[in-house]
């Protein structure tokens, strides 16, 4: 997943427009104010860790029963999750599943933390988008995700496939507003500095120029 293009940072900032849209969404989704919200953005497949997220959600809800899970994405035929998990998703009283949405930007502003339990990635966009929105990320320590999330600074990384560790990391952030704010601010700063479209394009341009100069000097 992901892209070598960077992230369109302006789209995900907490602009007046995004905050107003998220307020409208909150009412439409019947999401109460002041409740903890764990987000997920991606395909609902084994590889994206949706089964581990479902297992972790059970642990989280034992400690923080008022938590809601806001899942943006779609079920995919290619790497399907077992039908028992699909039924759980569809009937879960604490999961909101709007499906595929035209613009994910305002949804990030409803989240306190993004769960990103993917098993492998190229360079993923969702953690960068969440970062611009000021949302810390909890994910698995795997290729791709380790480049998008700095463990202990912009979010928390746990061993791949460990739903218990995923639950603990989510709860650590849900239970500490100051830590969430600190990590969210660090994530935004890092993405704007390194991974906005403009920064990535500048980097590619520099790379191509250096390549050309290098070849010319052979």
pLDDT digits (tens, 9 = 90+) for 46-60: 999 999 999 999 999
pLDDT at position 2: 46
pLDDT in tens, the chain (218 residues): 444 566 787 899 999 999 999 999 999 999 999 999 999 999 999 999 999 999 999 999 999 999 999 999 988 888 889 999 999 988 999 999 998 898 999 999 999 999 999 999 888 999 999 999 999 999 999 999 999 999 999 999 999 999 999 999 999 999 999 999 999 999 999 999 988 766 555 554 555 566 665 555 54
Residue 121 structure tokens = 């990635």
Give, in order, the Cα–Cα distances in Å from 207 to each of 92, 198, 200, 211: 48, 14, 10, 6
pLDDT at position 7: 78
pLDDT at position 74: 87
pLDDT at position 8: 85
pLDDT at position 213: 53
- Asked if residue 37 lies in contact with residue 112, where contact means CB atoms within 8 angstroms, the answer is yes
Residue 125 structure tokens = 């966009």
The residues near 49 (Cβ < 8 Å, ≥ 6 apart) are 116, 117, 118, 119, 140, 161, 166
Residue 36 structure tokens = 């903890």
Q: Where are the alpha helices (DSSP H) in the chain?
A: 9-12, 16-28, 50-63, 83-91, 105-108, 126-132, 145-148, 163-174, 177-194, 197-216
pLDDT at position 202: 56
Residue carrying structure tokens 């709860």: 171
């Amino acid at each position: 997943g992901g892209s070598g293009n960077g992230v369109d940072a302006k789209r995900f900032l907490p602009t007046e427009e995004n905050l107003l849209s998220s307020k409208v969404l909150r009412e439409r989704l019947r999401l109460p104010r002041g409740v903890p919200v764990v987000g997920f953005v991606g395909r609902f497949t084994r590889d994206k860790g949706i089964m581990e997220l479902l297992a972790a959600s059970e642990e989280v809800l034992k400690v923080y029963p008022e938590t809601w899970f806001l899942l943006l994405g779609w079920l995919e035929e290619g790497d399907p999750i077992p039908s028992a998990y699909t039924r759980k998703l569809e009937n879960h009283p604490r999961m909101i599943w709007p499906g595929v949405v035209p613009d994910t930007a305002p949804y990030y502003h409803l989240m306190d933390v993004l769960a990103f339990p993917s098993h492998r990635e190229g360079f993923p966009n969702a953690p960068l988008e969440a970062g611009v929105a000021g949302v810390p990320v909890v994910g698995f320590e795997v290729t791709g995700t380790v480049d998008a999330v700095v463990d202990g600074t912009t979010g928390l990384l746990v061993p791949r496939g460990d739903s218990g560790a995923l639950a603990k990391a989510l709860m650590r952030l849900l239970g500490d507003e100051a830590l969430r704010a600190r990590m969210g601010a660090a994530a935004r700063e890092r993405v704007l500095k390194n991974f906005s479209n403009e920064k990535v394009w500048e980097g590619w341009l520099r790379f191509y120029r250096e390549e050309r100069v290098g070849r010319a000097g052979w």
